[in-house]
Structure 1
Amino acid sequence: MRIAKNTTLMFFRMLLLTIINLYTVRLVLKGLGFIDYGIFNAVAGVVTSAGFISGVLALSIQRFFSIALGQGDNKRLNNIFSASMNIIFVLCIATIILFETIGLWFVSTQMTIPPERLTTTLCLYHCSIFVFIFSLLQIPFTAAIFSNENMGVYAVLSTIDSLLRLLLAAIITIVDTDHLAFYGFGLLAEAGIILGMYAWRGMKYKECHYTKTNDKILYRQLLKFSGWTMFGSLASMGMNQGNTILINVFFGPISNMAFGIAMQISNAFNALSNSMVLSFRPAMIKAYAKDDFQYIHQLFNISNKFLYYTLLCIGLPILIEMETILKLWLGNANSETVLFARLMIIFISLLALNNPITIIIEATGKVKEYHIVVESITLLSLPITWILYKSGSPSYAVFLVMLSICIIAHIARLWCLKRTFKPFAYSQYSIGFAFPAILITALSAMTAVVFQQITTAILHFVLMFLLLPIVAIGLSFILGLNKTERAMLLHLYHKKKA
């Protein structure tokens, strides 16, 4: 019941934040203009990527917190917090050295930036580095919130974060100064405020009090686990930011703007899928600590279906009506932006299916082989895209590569899961989830094509955004769930209604 409550809370929280964040993008684009927004996306993309890396590392440390909580080991909880803080301090220093040397050289000499905007761009770049540093320092406190399953606290703090960014975006449209530089300093100040709030709330947990620890075994475990998890997150960030840079080099700031809009949609859908799986994660890890493999397998099946069918119901109408949505959202939409946004929704919906697999493998602690195999495939995206661009391929080729790599990497993830978690069966995954998901997607898409023939504006809107999701939900309930899962959902519905 607690999982259902947390999942519902996180889902509606993310719907609210998605609306806020998308409107924020509209204001930022209006305040910066197309050229400066393209520069921001290419140079300061680390700002948006920082949240992803911080979230991944927070979930990694949360894994250790959850296992210690499941075992009732209070002393180990405090040692985990202190050791993770020490590791993150070292990581912050290494990050500053790397970005202020090699990174600074690359931005100054290798990227396509109008000469008159170079000084402002470098100012933005330095601010972005410290926004990233603040997000790293926030990690242990976020992990403590996750492991204690206080999703209400996380919902409040993350909502404040989004509202502050919305306020900043509104301000840059009216200030009488360089908007790009102002936005960079504003993001830095906002990140500092949010760090302070997470630290203040985190200190209320008994484990979040720093003490000197010399537990070498714990350091090795944290470094080994977090190191490989960091490798995984950096590979994903490298693919996104690397592709941003490639588009900048081959096609310039306008195409960068289109890719930046697609990345904003990616962030919204990615955050939505991550928020849904957050409610399953602590329960799955604690169940593994108690050797309750049957419950883990049950949660794995339910989380896969919940993730994909929810994203299908939300994403399919948006994908089909993307041109209209972008015009309402941004006031303008060229064909490249519409195509990028549509392909990004497909990519993120497939990518979301990795989350339940990753949770189980991280619960086992056997992450080295998993990340080596999977991220080696992920990193192929950049050289393949570069080769295609050099041979004259269009800008959207990057998404074709990303989709192909995503599918291959998912197959590799399933192979790693089978090696690590013996109860998993390919046949059960295929028959119980994959084949029904393909069928439901095809039937929903066919329904959407029929609805698209309706030309009356109001009726068209009702069919696409109200009736189509209902059809997808009905198909998911009938064809996507087994008898036990349908009975469980009906039981929860009647219990909540009573």
Structure 2
Amino acid sequence: MVDRRLDNQRIAKNTALLSFRMLCMTLIALYTSRVVLTSLGIENYGIYNVVGGGVMMFSIISGALTASINRFITFELGRGDMIKLKMVFSTSIMIQLLLGFIIVLLAESIGVWFLNEKMVIPQDRLNAANWVLQFSIITFVINLISVPYNAVIIAHERMSAFAYISIIEAVGKLMIAYFIMISPMDKLIFYAITICLLSFVIRIIYGFYCKKNFEECSCHFIWNKEILKNMFSFASWNMIGASSAIFRDQGGNIVINLFCGPAVNAARAIAFQVNNAIQGFVQSFMTALNPQITKSYASGDTGYMISLLYKGARFSFYILLFISLPIIVNTEFILSIWLGQVPDHTVLFIQLVLMFALSECISMPLITAMYATGNVRNYQIVVGGLQMMNLPISYIALHMGAIPESVVIVAIIISQICLITRLIMLNKTIHLNLFQFVSHVYLNILVVSLVASALPLYIMIVVEKITVNSFIFLLLLCIITSAFSILYLGCNTKERKFIYERVSNILLHRHG
């Protein structure tokens, strides 16, 4: 019998490290967002996000290969085959370089044409928007080449390095926010240039760390047909899923621009920035958990893998609920303090985007499990096909006069349909028990959510205007109701004991 206590402790330690990373990054991001929005103005901020988002459309290609690289590096490490691991890493670098070249060609042709001919950009800002496009392309390619190095760090579960380098990146963005205020040149162009330079510096740091600590991170020209075939086979089917997510997020952003203009793009961008900051804590947990899911499948321990799926789905939801509920209840007040100048539609966008994140986080470990098996063809055709419906349905809704936030409402409904589909497919692939998942996970988080949110939402509706005192009261109430429902309705006795021990250790360590 394999003792999994060390694995569980490693997951807890890595989650703590990555959560510390996210806390630092979130605090910095909250400040830099306000400074950047104030310095650029609502219109320029919206232009940067919609143009940069247009470049992200090319993640349709890169996202599929990124998932393939992450899966194959972690899988070979789980098997302990160092020779194969070195070959996979070198092949990944070659693939990313070729892919970067292809994306530059596509962005310089299709991207430039679409920006200048189709997008709604004020004429006096079109030149700046073109500069943003060029530097966004360079930034995208730099981040593309970093993927294999990031995958190696995560596969080895060296989350301390991942956390510290990410904090350096966040501090870099803080410095950029300051320099925007004093820059004599066009602020939008300056912002795009400095973000690009920061990406280059972070890329160098990742490369140096990996080459120093991991022997597989030595790139050689390798043309292994078997590895290429397997990776491209995985990636080609995964491209459907990658494209569906990009069409949903960035396609939705462009549709909003076509019907509503850059000011609403700014509102949506703020909402997704809040979401990224909050959801980062869940991603920290999943980043710590994902290698264990893949490695347990690679070693043939599917029982442990399934137990991780149950815990991963529940605890990722709990983490996000605990952090997001106070924001959902106090959105308008928080925005008035944080930004001062709040674009229209921002409040409802944030509330709906956080609800979408709660829906999606349940599926995160299920997606990792499906990727671990390598059998992604049918999964991507069905689930990717469902997610593809986000864009046409959103377009039709806005064309018929629906509010801009309807794009997120459509995404929430389709997210739940995709969750059901994933469960059915995993039942066939790894014999995941549907009844147990529904009873132990889905109904569990539903009860926890209702108990945690009922009283705070009722008070939010009754109180006409949130003041400082009522904000503090609602904040404390959300924390108390969330903690109570998660601990006593969401966790079993063993899980509560583990949480109490970890908290006690942290408090005693600080006291000592």
Regarding TM over 0.5, the answer is: yes
Rounded Cα–Cα distance in structure 2 between residues aligned with 1:459 and 1:178? 41
Query: Counterpart in 2 of 1:479?
Result: 489
**Equivalent residue for 2:322?**
313
* 2:310 partner letter: N
Deviating more after overlay: 362-371 vs 225-234: 225-234
Q: Number of aligned residue pairs: give it.
A: 497
Once the two structures are overlaid, the 10-residue window that deviates more, 291-300 or 229-238, is 229-238
Separation in 2 of the partners of 1:491 and 1:131?
43
Which residue in the other structure is 1:272 paired with?
A: 281
* Match of residue 123 from structure 1: 131
Cα distance in 2 between the residues matched to 1:215 and 1:53: 21
Partner of 1:37: 45
Tell me if 1:376 matches 2:379: no
Residue 189 (structure 1) aligned with residue 197 (structure 2): yes
Cα distance in 2 between the residues matched to 1:51 and 1:169: 26
- Percent identical pairs in the alignment equals 33
- Secondary structure of the residue aligned to 2:223 is coil
1:58-457 aligned at under 5 Å gives the runs: 58=66, 60-204=68-212, 205-422=214-431, 424-449=432-457, 451-452=459-460, 457=467
Q: Is the 8 A contact 2:64 2:238 kept in 1?
A: yes
- TM-fit CA distance, 1:233: 2.5
Q: Distance in 1 between matches of 2:328 and 2:45?
A: 23
TM-score of the superposition, structure 2-length normalised? 0.92
Question: Given the superposition, is the C-alpha separation of residues 456 and 385 from structure 1 closer, same or farther in structure 2, using an over 3 Å criterion?
Answer: closer
Q: Relative to structure 2, which stretch is displaced further, 240-249 or 7-16?
A: 7-16
Task: State the partner residue of 1:460.
Answer: 470
How far has the Cα of 1:473 moved from its partner? 1.8
> In the alignment, is the contact (CA less than 8 A) between 2:278 and 2:323 conserved in 1?
no
Q: Name the CA distance, whole Å, in 1 between partners of 2:452 and 2:389.
A: 32
2:451–2:481 contact (8 Å) kept in structure 1 = no
* Residue deviations 1:206-247 (CA, integer Å, cap 9, x gap): 000012323211111111223333442332122111111111
Q: Distance in 2 between matches of 1:395 and 1:491?
A: 46
SS at match of 1:203: helix
Of the structure 1 ranges 6-15 and 307-316, higher mean CA displacement relative to structure 2 is found in 6-15
Q: 1:200 to 1:88 in 2, by over 3 A?
A: same
Instruction: In structure 2, give the amino acid aligned to 1:473.
Output: A
CA distance in 2 between partners of 1:60 and 1:259 (Å): 30
Which sections of structure 1, spanning at least 5 residues, go unmatched? none
Q: 1:136 to 1:263 in 2, by over 3 A?
A: same
In 2, the alpha carbon distance for the partners of 1:30 and 1:345 equals: 24
Asked whether the equivalents of residues 317 and 468 of structure 1 are also in contact (C-alpha less than 8 Å), the reply is yes
Distance 1:46 1:14, change over 3 A: farther
Which letter does structure 1 place at the counterpart of 2:137? I
Partners of 2:46 and 2:269 within 8 A in 1: yes
Distance change (3 Å), C-alpha of 1:51 and 1:214: closer
Give the distance between the partners of 2:478 and 2:65, measured in 1 at CA: 37
Structure 1 residue 140, shift from structure 2 partner: 0.7
Question: What are structure 2's unaligned runs of at least 5 residues?
Answer: 1-8
Question: Per-residue deviation at 1:66?
Answer: 2.2
Kept in 2, the 8 Å contact 1:43–1:107? The answer is yes
Matched to 2:474, the amino acid is: M
Give the whole-Å Cα distance in 2 for the aligned partners of 1:42 and 1:490. Answer: 45
Asked whether the equivalents of residues 451 and 460 of structure 1 are also in contact (C-alpha less than 8 Å), the reply is no
Judge conservation of contact 1:377–1:405 (CA < 8 Å) in 2: yes
Q: Any idea what the Cα deviations from partners look like across 1:302-354, whole Å, max 9, x if unmatched? A: 11111101111110110110001111111122451111111111111111122
Distance 1:290 1:3 in 2: 18
Deviation of residue 99 (structure 1)? Answer: 0.7
Q: Which moved more, 1:364-373 or 1:230-239?
A: 230-239
**Change beyond 3 A, Cα 1:276–1:440:** same
Mapped partners of 1:471, 1:266: distance in 2: 22
Deviation at 1:156, TM superposition (A): 0.6
Q: Would you say the 8 A contact 2:54–2:111 is kept in 1?
A: no
Match of 2:479 in 1: 469
Distance of 2:169 and 2:57 partners within structure 1: 15
Task: State the 1:203 CA deviation.
Answer: 1.0
- Taking a change above 3 Å as real, the CA distance of residues 409 and 267 of structure 1, as seen in their structure-2 partners, is same
How many Å separate the matches in 2 of 1:4 and 1:210? Answer: 32
Q: Residues 28 and 228 of structure 1: is their aligned pair in 2 closer, same or farther, counting only changes over 3 Å?
A: farther
- Once the two structures are TM-superposed, the CA of residue 45 in structure 1 deviates from its matched residue by 2.0
TM superposition shift of 1:55: 8.0
AA partner of residue 423 (structure 2): L
Relative to 1, partners in 2 of residues 1:486 and 1:54: Cα closer, same or farther, differing over 3 Å? farther
**How far apart are the structure 2 equivalents of 1:265 and 1:47?**
21
TM-score scaled by length of structure 1: 0.94
Distance 1:119 1:39 in 2: 12
The one-letter code sitting in structure 2 at the alignment partner of 1:440 is: V
Which shows bigger deviation, 291-300 or 328-337? 328-337
Other-structure match for 2:27: 19
How far, CA to CA, are the matches of 1:408 and 1:315 in structure 2? 23
CA contact (8 A) 2:352 2:408 kept: yes
Q: CA deviation at 1:399?
A: 1.6
How has the CA–CA distance of structure 1 residues 281 and 481 changed in structure 2, closer, same or farther, with 3 Å as cutoff? same
CA shift, 1:150, in A, is 0.2
In 2, Cα distance between the equivalents of 1:394 and 1:450? Answer: 25
Counterpart CA distance in 1 for 2:459 and 2:392 is 41
Q: Is the 8 A contact 1:55 1:139 kept in 2?
A: no
Q: Kindly state the Cα deviation for residue 270 of structure 1 after the two structures are TM-superposed.
A: 3.4
